Amino acid sequence: MLVQELNTLDIECLPAKIPASIELDLTSLTEPEQSIRVKDIELDEEITVLNDPEQIVAKISVRHAEVIEEEEVLVAEEVEEEVAEAPAEASLPEKESEKE
């Protein structure tokens, strides 16, 4: 899973040099826990990044799947069966039409 940890950069430059956006090549991130840091961002020489160079911009993280015990699955299946077998709610009796 790709985790973006930094959304903005603090920079110092002339107004004409302010980038509208910054694109990063993420193809180097192929293994868990690999990251791109602020120091890895290449910008124009006239732009100074004020963020900590070691700050992580994006990284690959592993999301561990939760193991569901077989017993829990069986209980869930039993509940579903009970719901399926339960009688439908009795319909309300129709009102008798009024006598003339």
Structure tokens at 86: 């339960």
Determine the residue type at 32.
P
Structure tokens at 90: 């009795």
Question: pLDDT of 43-83, one tens digit each?
Answer: 999 999 999 999 999 999 887 777 666 666 666 677 677 66
Is 100 among the domain residues? no
Structural domains counted in the chain: 1
Structure tokens at 87: 């009688």
CA 85, distance to chain mean position in Å, is 38
pLDDT of residue 66: 73
Is 96 among the domain residues? no
Report the CATH number at residue 6: 2.170.120.20
Q: pTM of whole model > 0.85?
A: no
**Cβ atoms of residues 59 and 1 within 8 Å:** no
Is 43 among the domain residues? yes
Is 60 among the domain residues? yes
Rounded to 5°, the CA angle 21-13-3 comes to 35
pLDDT above 70 coverage of the chain, percent = 67
Is 23 among the domain residues? yes
